[in-house]
Chain A
């Protein structure tokens, strides 16, 4: 057997005789001594190495391994048994977030009843033969301003899925201000399982970035709602940070702790950078300070810092893992309130990115979205990080220069991967 080409080695933080061996293909992590690593590099059989095959760190053939990596997304699509759809119910929102990617496209634009009625039939038609589950993420605006439409669509889905032998559930991608226990109880019978809510740092920071439309602070309302609803459904909390705001995020962790909210109450807590809409043809915002590219020099420090803080406060931060873009996944797409189809919820409203509608059906979007955009770059095909990047975020690239080309994550991963892995080994700082 041969040592996988998709690996990185790092010094062990506590044991100079040991090495950390990390698979950039499976994200497996192994500790071994230098002599064992050298033997594996020479292709020698080493006692106890059987487990490395299962981890993807020992392979029979480098050429076949490369082919498997290059066709990884085909396999992801083949094995997927879930149709996962983002549904934008309308553009009304009771928040005025300074950096919102929907910008001034928000307003009194709602999904009409005919579209909501048609949607379940359309989604069932989109199921591939192996599909066993359908999941909807309800977006807005603020989706909880559209509770009757949620019930219409989810109720229709439940009926159709039950007849077809499929399971159905849905999540709310909500600002959390309207998430009250009685509303959750009303929606649970329709298949509600998860709410994804945003807190952009401690109260002072959050309220600056995410005020109500009247300018009032929202942090206390959202925090109370999370506390009151935890236990009824899974609540995942995300936070968007900027270069200036991220150092204060530990105060959010204090505030959650003070509110009695820990990992046992919240499904997942994680932070991502605000993306800056920069191209002049896109809706201009007065907001500045977001991230234009994954290569921005301040990002690694911020990402490492925030991940360490999560560990210090007893949270389990998301690990490094292959995360394919929605664009490259066959069974995921977005339906806008007007019935138009897009391949990413962040790209709604861009006319050139409409790829069908729920009446005419899905059109071929492979060129429009540059599906598998990395295939045209030899450096990507040869890159050890391909499965951790997949060409980066389409949305970020589009916001910057209106193309769907790659936003290479190599510099970011070079600058962060070792730290992330060491964090997983060492855990909280003493």
Chain B
């Protein structure tokens, strides 16, 4: 096995800046 395997690179602050708001209809909230 390779010593380090990157499964997911994660998100950059720039991507978060472009992401949607948290609220959805009916019952907003930030619990996923």
Question: Contact residues of A with B, CB < 8 Å?
Answer: 15, 17-18, 23, 25-33, 36, 46-49, 51-52, 54-56, 72, 75-82, 84, 86, 97, 99-101, 137, 139, 173-175, 196-198, 200, 210, 238, 240, 270, 272-275, 290-291, 294, 299, 303, 307, 318-326, 329, 332, 344-346, 392-393, 395-396, 409, 412, 424-425
Contact = CB atoms under 8 A, between A and B. Distances in A.
A128 to B, nearest CB: 12
Contacts of A32: 3-5
B28 A28 contact: no
Nearest to B25: A173
Interface string B10-31: 1111101111111111111111
A412 B13 contact: no
B25 A23 contact: no
A330 to B, nearest CB: 10
Contacts of B24: 173, 196, 198, 238, 272
B31 A303 contact: yes
B31 A393 contact: yes
Contact of A80 (B11, B18, B31): B18
Contact of B26 (A72, A240, A329, A332): A240
Contact of A101 (B1, B2, B7, B26): B26
Contact of B10 (A23, A75, A173): A23
A195 B25 CA distance: 10
Contacts of A272: 24, 27, 29, 31-32
Given A175-B25, A275-B28, A303-B31, A52 B10 contact: no
A99 B27 contact: yes
Nearest to A322: B16
B11 to A, nearest CB: 6
Contacts of B3: 32-33, 36, 46-48
Q: Interface of chain A, helix or strand or loop or mixed?
A: mixed
Contacts of A56: 10
A363 B26 CA distance: 27
Contact of A79 (B7, B11, B13, B28): B13
Contacts of A137: 21
A29 B7 contact: yes
Nearest to B30: A393
Contact of A332 (B7, B21, B27): B21
Nearest to A274: B27
Contact of A26 (B4, B12, B17): B12
A97 B3 CA distance: 53
Given A48-B2, A52-B4, A425-B7, A238 B25 contact: yes
A294 B31 CA distance: 7
Contacts of B19: 321, 323
Contacts of B2: 48
B9 to A, nearest CB: 6
A137 B21 CA distance: 10
A273 B31 CA distance: 7
Contacts of B17: 75-81
B5 A30 contact: yes
Nearest to A76: B17
B31 to A, nearest CB: 6
B8 A27 contact: yes
A174 B25 CA distance: 7
A75 B17 CA distance: 8
Contact of B6 (A28, A78, A396): A28
Contacts of B7: 29-31, 424-425
Contact of B1 (A33, A274, A321): A33
B4, B9, B27, B28: residue with the most chain A Cβ atoms closer than 10 Å: B27
Given A36-B3, A82-B18, A344 B28 contact: yes
Contacts of B6: 28-30, 51-52, 55
Contacts of A99: 26-27
